[in-house]
Structure 1
């Protein structure tokens, strides 16, 4: 696929730097594995969209298996991959997509346009000072997951 066009972050320092230094742009961080088929599908969508959204968004891939990245994996409670997390001016952006978890997008997008619509909605909300926005996609194009809890 064409994910080689996007930067791959494997160190905590790299993630900290890109979050801190991405100003006035939406930062899209995809947490996943480079060899996972769903991650490869999402990476293809991200790389094909990167040129169209380059004026208001930056995309980077984060290798979830890297040892230094485990701090972020625990902090954002990343148990399902791929998980996509959004930032604006070092602030975590959230999206209400009808699930209990507003902190991240779990799974892949159905199409390039779905991803662009989500990024535009987040960017517009961030420009208005909002930290959480409503998902612009219809419910049938939002991935749903059944979370099972053990030993509660």
Structure 2
């Protein structure tokens, strides 16, 4: 199923191929559920931005309920959805947004322009050989969450 021109990945080999085959572009993978209201809000932002970002970014949706995708949920420690993970030339890109987790963006973006700014920053950093970039958004537009540790 495609939403606003975005492909939905449900198989591990599809995700692997997309990560491996997306060259010289930022790959944006949204992990979530198509029925979740916050995911739907994020998907709308991603879909509206995809045309403007098409020269330097590819966007795909990953269904967290698919059995084969569970390996990625464990690898990226995805417990809150939606979670957005970025890659460049098969390399996982990180972003310091002032939150405890630099490996992914948790939640939706406030606006289409916020998402575009983040992807542009990741692209520019990746082109300079950086693996982690600073978030271009002000702190009040970064979703806040707390990491909970079980049995500690």
Q: Is the 8 A contact 2:95 2:135 kept in 1?
A: yes
The answer to whether structure 1 residue 83 and structure 2 residue 105 are counterparts is no
**Structure 2: gaps (5+ residues):** none
Deviations 1:68-115 (A, max 9, x none): 000000000000000000000000000000011100000000000000
Relative to the length of structure 1, the TM-score reads 0.97
Structure 1: distance between partners of 2:27 and 2:60: 8
Q: Is the 8 A contact 2:100 2:147 kept in 1?
A: no
Q: Is the 8 A contact 1:31 1:83 kept in 2?
A: yes
Q: Is the 8 A contact 1:3 1:40 kept in 2?
A: no
Name the structure 2 match of 1:117: 117
**Structure 1: gaps (5+ residues):** none
Number of corresponding residues: 151
Structure 2: distance between partners of 1:79 and 1:99: 15
Name the structure 2 match of 1:45: 45
Q: Is the 8 A contact 2:32 2:64 kept in 1?
A: yes
Name the structure 1 match of 2:27: 27
Once the two structures are superposed, the pairs formed by residues 1-152 of structure 1 within 5 Å of their partners are 3-152=3-152
Give runs of ≥4 in structure 1 deviating > 4 Å. Answer: none
Q: How large is the Cα RMSD of the aligned pairs?
A: 0.9
Deviation, structure 1 residue 4: 4.3
Relative to the length of structure 2, the TM-score reads 0.97
Structure 1: distance between partners of 2:60 and 2:150: 32
